[in-house]
Amino acid sequence: MNTNAPNPGNASPHAPSERGRHDAAPSKPRARALRVAMYLFLAAATLIYAAPLIWMFSTSIKPESQAISRELTLLPDPASSTLTHAAENYTAVWTDPSIDFPLYLRNSLIVAILAVTGMTLSTAVVAYGFSRIRWRGRAFFFALVIGTMMIPFPVLMSPLYVMFAKAGLIGTLVPLWLPAWFGGAFHGGFNIFLLRQFFLSLPRELDEAARIDGCGHLRTFLFIILPLSKPALAVVALFYFTYIWNDFLAPLIFLTDREHFTLALGLQLYQSKAGNTPWNLLMAASTMVIAPVLLLFFLTQRTFVQGAAGEGLKE
């Protein structure tokens, strides 16, 4: 009798079975295939969303005859003339005597900087009160703030117009940025909610340590909460910058003189002048309008992604 034969009963419970090894073998190829499929899907989705931007830029660097051609080409023919046609188109738009794009750019920057600054600061103050200070009725008033997200801007157009008209501010840039300094009027609810949720993720021990050191709510907010909330503040700033930069309805209502027009109104005016704007020049103007938003996103992409993911303090 062979006493050296392996005994299944004496096998180590931690040793992998033959079936387990066979089941685990294809797991890596399957995971790799899923990862490749996911990347292909994301690449296809990115291409679909980027296609209009790519085509807009492609049209902006072509001569007028090729811009309205049925041939699908990304570069002008010949390709060596790309820089020449691009310079001609963008220069023609920028120096057009009937449309003052430099002035409209300045107006848009003024409105965007003042509005984004006001929105970020005011919503951060309100969110701090809803997240770090305990007071009676806090839940009710927070629900009231969230309820304002359901009120569309057209509902507020008439009251806002009457209010600014009585104040003598119609025809100025003030109605475009002043509401942002008071919680954003019709866009502050989401930003307050976003910042409140981020502030709640910060440890309460920070407030207690600051209180022991003699800090009140103002110093705690300015020197502890705000520095730790840069990702969330960047999200609020970028979201509202995108909105205020592309806003067309509010400038259309509150602005009366061309010297106060923003880029959104200037682009519409450029499109409708003489009723026959060349498509290559119109696409060049559109590219100039959206370029600051794209540039700002790429410069703040890392901070934006951190804030959007709700990444808080890591212990």
Give yes or no for residue 83 having a pLDDT over 90.
no
156 domain-assigned: yes
Domain assignment present for 79: no
In this prediction, residue 165 carries a pLDDT of 94
CATH at residue 239: 1.10.3720.10
Instruction: Name residues whose C-beta falls within 8 Å of residue 33's C-beta, 6 or more positions apart in sequence.
Output: none
Of 132-141, 233-242, 269-278, which range is least confident?
269-278
In angstroms, the Cα distances linking 236 to 59, 153, 181, 224, 299 are 33, 19, 14, 19, 15
- What is the pLDDT averaged over residues 17-21? 52
Residue 215 lies in a domain: yes
Which of residues 162 and 303 earns the better pLDDT score?
162
User: How many structural domains compose the chain?
Assistant: 1
Q: Is residue 300 part of a domain?
A: yes
Per the model's pLDDT, the better-predicted residue between 312 and 113 turns out to be 113
Most confident of 71-75, 155-159, 263-267: 263-267
With a pLDDT cut of 90, the percent of the chain lying above it is 30
Q: What is the pLDDT, as a whole number, of residue 26? A: 54
From 160, 208, 166, 211, select the one nearest 186 (Cα to Cα). 160
Residue 33 within any structural domain of the chain: no
Segment 66-90 shows an average pLDDT of: 79
**Predicted TM-score (pTM) of this structure:** 0.80
In a domain, 2, yes or no: no
Secondary structure in 3-state letters for 176-223:
HHHHHHHCCCCCHHHHHHHHHHHHHCCCCHHHHHHHHCCCCHHHHHHH
Per-residue pLDDT tens digits for 224-256: 899 888 888 988 998 899 999 999 999 999 999
Residue 71, in any domain of the structure: no
- pLDDT > 70 in the chain, percent: 86
Residue 150: inside a domain: yes
> Which residue range forms the structural domain that includes residue 134?
106-308
